[in-house]
Amino acid sequence: MPYQINNEGFATKNDVRIRCRDILAKTPDGKEVAEVDADFLYSLFQYHDEWSDKSGVGVAAITTQTTSHGTRCFVLRRHCGGEVDISFTHAIKLMPGTRGQTRQPQGLLDFRAGARTAVNQQIRTFRDTALVVTSVCPVTGEPVNHANAAVDHVAPTTFDQLLYDFCLATDTNPLNVLVGSLNGVVATIEDVMLCAAWEQYHLAHAQLRLISKTGNLKLSKPSVPWFELYTSPK
């Protein structure tokens, strides 16, 4: 899929709009959006050019409201007590175009998304265990709770670096890995043995920490030389 947001694939930007409108439709005014929907929205809002200002020192939750014009929108409920609306249509408009994303082959984008899906349960287990202890985000200093918690792969062993190292260790060309989808949306690695090997590798080598979703979006994303895996002669 040309557009990958929180491991969900979309063929067009309009499909992303439909996903957002579905979340608005099922979330009453003033109520927090469901966890899986919040994860999707946090990933989408990273493209909004005012995200840094709107998120402030941290976002406690994402809710909805009806504007004076009768339209509905998302609202960032910040830790400072304030609330500010944020436009999903503006964020979608600023998403990188398909041409820009093809600098990485679609097969690689799908593979990375499928690899994230494979370790989602490990990530959630770590998060839920870490949340038992009161903590603050190491990036923003905001309190971390179930609504705004994220899990970071501690640099320099970022998620991409860990997956790259796994591919090197197993002589895996990501472009040769068959990636399917769950319910036509969530990317999944079809090779059961490869998927299991990746899950074990991640369990053994990942260094994780609890962080806020706001803080997670503020982290730099070091580049990984993926092209070496699928361009080097065998």
pLDDT tens digits, one per residue of 123-171: 999 999 999 987 899 988 989 988 889 999 999 999 999 999 999 999 9
Exposure of 228 by Cβ count < 10 A (0-12 exposed, 13-18 middle, 19+ buried)? exposed
Q: Give the pLDDT of residue 185.
A: 74
pLDDT tens digits, one per residue of 28-52: 999 999 988 998 999 999 899 999 8
Does the N-terminal peptide bond of residue 156 adopt cis geometry, omega within 30 degrees of 0? yes
Nearest to 2 by CA among 138, 97, 73, 143: 97
Exposure of 29 by Cβ count < 10 A (0-12 exposed, 13-18 middle, 19+ buried)? exposed
Q: Is the pLDDT of residue 100 over 50?
A: no
pLDDT-derived band at 233 (thresholds 50, 70, 90) equals low
Q: Give the pLDDT of residue 97.
A: 67
**The token pair that represents 11 in the structure block:** 């063929």
Q: Is the pLDDT of residue 190 over 90?
A: yes
The proportion of the chain whose per-residue pLDDT surpasses 70, expressed as a percent, equals 95
Q: Give the pLDDT of residue 157.
A: 94
Q: Is the pLDDT of residue 215 over 80?
A: yes
Element at 231 (helix H, strand E) = helix 227-231
Q: Is the pLDDT of residue 101 over 70?
A: no
- DSSP 8-class letter at 81: S
Give the number of other CB atoms < 10 A from CB of residue 190. 12
- Torsion sign (Cα): 8, 11, 13, 14: negative
Nearest to 61 by CA among 71, 48, 75, 50: 75
Q: Give the pLDDT of residue 13.
A: 94
In the predicted model, what is the mean pLDDT of residues 90-114? 80
Q: Give the pLDDT of residue 191.
A: 97
- The ranges assigned to domains in the chain are 3-93, 104-231
Q: Give the pLDDT of residue 106.
A: 84
Q: Is the pLDDT of residue 99 over 70?
A: no
Cα–Cα distance for residue pair 107/178, rounded to 1 Å? 9
Which CATH class for the 3-93 domain? alpha beta
